[in-house]
Structure 1
Amino acid sequence: MRSKGVSKIRASVLAVAAALGGFAGSPAWGADAAGNYEVAALQPGDAAVKSWAADDFSFNLSGYARGWVSVNLEDQPELKAIGEKSKGKLSMVRGSLLLDADAKTGAVKWKAIGRVDREYKTDYLKDLERLRETNGTDQGGHANSILDNYNRGEIREFWAEIPLGERVTVKAGKQQLVWGESDFFHAMDLVHGYDLSWRLFFEGENEEWRKPLTLISTKIRVPEADGMLAAYIRPGVDRCQDIGNTYDIQGGRWFFQPYRGFDLTAVTDKDCDHPSGDYRDVTGGVRWSGEAFGLNYSLAWLTTFSADPVANSAFRPYKKAPEGAVFDRIHPQIDVYGMTVSGYSSTLDAVLSAEMAYTKDQPYNIGTGAFLDPVVPGNVGIGLGGVKLKDTLTTMLRIDKDLDLQGIFGTSRPSFSSIQLFDTQVLNFKESDDLVRLFAYGTPLTEHNTILTAFTTLNYRNDTINPGFAIGFDLSHGGGFAIPSLSLTLNDEWLARIEADIFWSGNRSNKVAFSGQRSQLFGYFDNASQLVFRLTRQF
């Protein structure tokens, strides 16, 4: 009941924070009229490649070339301080090329996905680069070009899937594993981290931003119980940068206010060898999904790395001294136990879904207030006072419904709409723990952090013209976002989209770095509203 198009829409709903490779060349191959690539027919005399001529061999190549342009809609205080304007300037000019190759040799399926991303250094990015020089965080060989934040080139996936009998399949290699029901606030979808360095809002798919890992995964179908058992093991051969979420901490366009133009890597390192989170440690998980009483459900356990980093402070070291001048970013291991359930309600004519995840020993930083406490000497704020582990409970409730707006707006079919409520609760919460929500801010963590989102999409001319609107509110601290958008299918090859990402902070945004001023989720995005254009050529 959840189409790929629905997943795209959900991924655009929120913030607060993902595909390439290919091969071609051995046997001869070409494209058919639909643009699919297949191995060319072999001639009888082609003895050297006869082994490729089996009936059960196939090869397909697809992909896209994509471009983005974004424009700032507001002036930003960091650049105002050096006499530069932000409003109206291009914040992003980006291009990507993705190749997706599929092959089948006998019963074995193969996949290779590669992507190359490149950006143009706009005047706005040059301003941020100069600001890094002004504040002294572009020295010592750190990020010589701000484009180091954004340029990429990698093999995204490379795996083989082998059936073992009629019920079991095993997939080995670099891959993506999706567990859970929610698309942006990831309660159970924690196998992978996400690369959020070049974007935090605007439309796309989680598959583009999820950081694939080298896994051995399996699925075991159990029809007698109307279910399937899935499991994976991560042997610990990935790179350090593959672990946890990646944010734009090098002073770029998506660093949280008021830290744009401040290269945090000048005073911190990422420690992947920390005793609480060594990237070479083996991790894994097990998930059962099935149907019962007309409901779809799942139960899961996994041990993984905390998605968001915490600071191992030089002032209050956690288990080992950091190597960075001020702190190291670490991703301690956590255990997550979760469940999902969804089903159709004939009374509401809607699909109702729920997801719940209990996290054991979620790490948080300690130390609210400014960097150095002017009242109590020796107290360290902005999250640099140590690390404390707390259990958390994350809950998601959602209702998906097709609204009949044809008579009102003249749409060609009912409009898919969704309302979603997300809540993260810190269990055994104590104000005396002095926990902060995010290091580099002195904002106290609250017991509940609750977000309400909603969106709808209208469909015209057989889904070739699709206006949409998404909105969200931070019910705990104020602030929110609105995203009006328009998606166009120009023909079978060309797709276009334009959207505005509009934020308001509810007066919870910092104005001065390291000051300990109050700043909650949408305060991070204050003055970051933008207009985004995207054009895709599929092949």
Structure 2
Amino acid sequence: MWFKAFHLLFLAVLSVSVALPSVGAETTDAWGAWDDSSGSDRDWPEDTEQTSPWNVLVFTEALVGGFISDGLFKGNLFADNAFDEDLSALENRWQLNANRYFGTSFFNVSVELLADGVDDDHFQVLVRELYLDHSLTDSLTVRAGQQILTWGTGDFVFLNDLFAKDWQAMFSGRDDSYLKAPSTSIKLTYYQDMANLDVVWTPLFTSDNYINGERFGYFSPMSGDITDQQFTAKEPGTQIENGEFAFRLFKTLDGVEYALYGYRGFYKQPVGFDPVEGRNVFPRLNSVGASVRGSLGSGIANIEVAYWDSRDDMAGDDPLIPNSKWQTLVGYEQELIQKLTLGLQWWLQITEGYSVQKKSALKANSPQPEYLQNKYHHTLTARITYLTMSDKLTWSLFSFYSPSSDDFYLKPKVSYRRDDYWLFEVGGNLFGGQDNYTQWGQFEENSNLYTRVRYHF
């Protein structure tokens, strides 16, 4: 109880402080400095012989979320869900970010102190970023250390971006940037007039922070029902051959961005099962893909394709390993009227192992074919964003809907940026579906509402 009381007191202090004037009015926009972008086009100092001063930023944040009993709008707010839990999130976070240039090198570190009332480990010290950028030549740079990696054209949909994600953070109501999880990697970027090349090596496989019963329930094919039983999967070994390799060859021509991608490693979630050990595993995965993004009419369009090659089930007849699949993503974003933007996406997954025969290799070898995803699985997404009050108040809704599975995931939120220091947000993670074994339908009882307050020093 003391832990919950501490959080509620902290929120109360934050709320009262809103009425107080901000101390030390600065001309620098603190929010712009917190861009989580990890691109390679960093602006280096003109005089590379000089060392810049330290740039230090600190923020504190409180997050409280509660489950909606028995799924979407079927019970009282902040009531116990099926697993006798009432809170989906209860945490205080402090982050210190410091960076500086050392000649042709750039050093960055982000360290967090997290007090978490839901996690079993109440107090944690987390290193989100700890890396060094160094310019080896005029056309070759290297970044080594703990870093956030991302590429591709999808909005909350990842075809060729096979870097670690944090789905528990997304479902909890943390800032969207926390969906991208860090990994300890070495990234080389080579610039040429013909094209640019990113090559990433992650020596130790880094999985997603997936849904495993720790904070949210999930569907278990073994029991045929929703469960909150926690499980830990068997990670790939630490041998050098189990490291992850990824590359991106990219170029912009006449305002159009082109890219080719490749990946060799493992599925980022434990979607396989080892019957001998009785544990979930991470099957081997190779992937190749491409994307194009550019202006179309008065908006921006993108097309992305990928082929996921499931190396541990080449024949497609192992029911305990996912089959290979083709994926296509088509998106378009446009400002409908001033300050109102709409983004749409269509995501198609085509699973191999199905055939025109009555019994495909996939279904014939599956002990539970009723839980299989359709050969052609469609997902539609929409993002609506509306800015008001001189862009200080943002209304937004992101939605997933699959006509193939008849399930959905809605992320509504309202954010108020009072000034360069204060941010207030309320939102929700709302799930539903016709069946309890589909991608989003299984999370219906995890539906929650949350409020988040952040202060930048």
How high is the TM-score relative to the length of structure 2? 0.78
1:298, 1:110 → 2: CA distance? 28
1:458, 1:161 → 2: CA distance? 37
What is aligned with 1:393? 326
What is aligned with 1:68? 63
Whether 1:458 and 2:453 are equivalent positions in the alignment is no
1:532, 1:187 → 2: CA distance? 29
Task: Summarize the Cα distance change of 1:201–1:340 in structure 2 as closer, same or farther, 3 Å threshold.
Answer: farther
Q: CA deviation at 1:74?
A: 2.4
Whether 1:298 and 2:234 are equivalent positions in the alignment is no
154, 157, 166: which one aligns with 1:195: 166
1:441, 1:475 → 2: CA distance? 19
Q: Give deviations 1:163-183, integer Å, cap 9, x for gaps.
A: 122222111222222121113
Whether 1:360 and 2:297 are equivalent positions in the alignment is no
Supply the AA of the counterpart residue of 2:280.
R
331, 334, 339: which one aligns with 1:414: 339
Q: CA deviation at 1:220?
A: 1.5
Contact 1:364/1:435, CA 8 A, preserved across alignment: no
SS at match of 2:329: strand
1:169, 1:475 → 2: CA distance? 45
1:116, 1:478 → 2: CA distance? 40
83, 86, 100: which one aligns with 2:81: 86
What is aligned with 2:120? 147
2:130, 2:367 → 1: CA distance? 35
106, 111, 114: which one aligns with 1:109: 106
1:70, 1:525 → 2: CA distance? 16
What is aligned with 1:483? 411
Task: Summarize the Cα distance change of 1:111–1:359 in structure 2 as closer, same or farther, 3 Å threshold.
Answer: same
Contact 1:313/1:386, CA 8 A, preserved across alignment: no
Q: CA deviation at 1:61?
A: 1.2
What is aligned with 2:92? 95
Supply the AA of the counterpart residue of 1:196.
W
1:75, 1:365 → 2: CA distance? 41
Contact 1:401/1:418, CA 8 A, preserved across alignment: yes
Supply the AA of the counterpart residue of 2:331.
R
Structure showing greater radius of gyration is 1
What is aligned with 1:503? 431
Task: Summarize the Cα distance change of 1:343–1:330 in structure 2 as closer, same or farther, 3 Å threshold.
Answer: same
Supply the AA of the counterpart residue of 1:394.
Q
1:426, 1:364 → 2: CA distance? 13
Q: CA deviation at 1:108?
A: 0.8
Ranges in structure 2 where 5+ consecutive residues have no aligned partner: 1-23, 31-48
Alignment of 1:244-263 (within 5 A): 244-256=207-219, 258-263=225-230
Supply the AA of the counterpart residue of 2:208.
N
Contact 1:363/1:387, CA 8 A, preserved across alignment: no
Q: CA deviation at 1:429?
A: 2.1
Q: CA deviation at 1:393?
A: 1.0
1:439, 1:182 → 2: CA distance? 34
1:270, 1:286 → 2: CA distance? 26
Contact 1:365/1:435, CA 8 A, preserved across alignment: no
What is aligned with 1:137? none
Ranges in structure 1 where 5+ consecutive residues have no aligned partner: 1-30, 38-53, 122-145, 315-320, 368-382, 405-412, 510-518
Q: CA deviation at 1:63?
A: 3.2
Task: Summarize the Cα distance change of 1:283–1:93 in structure 2 as closer, same or farther, 3 Å threshold.
Answer: closer
What is aligned with 2:155? 183
118, 124, 130: which one aligns with 1:158: 130
200, 205, 210: which one aligns with 1:232: 200
SS at match of 2:443: coil
Q: Percent identity?
A: 17
Contact 1:70/1:530, CA 8 A, preserved across alignment: yes
Q: CA deviation at 1:184?
A: 1.9
SS at match of 2:269: coil
Q: Give deviations 1:464-508, integer Å, cap 9, x for gaps.
A: 011122333111110213333211001210101111333221x21
What is aligned with 1:51? none
How high is the TM-score relative to the length of structure 1? 0.67
2:93, 2:152 → 1: CA distance? 28
Task: Summarize the Cα distance change of 1:203–1:212 in structure 2 as closer, same or farther, 3 Å threshold.
Answer: closer
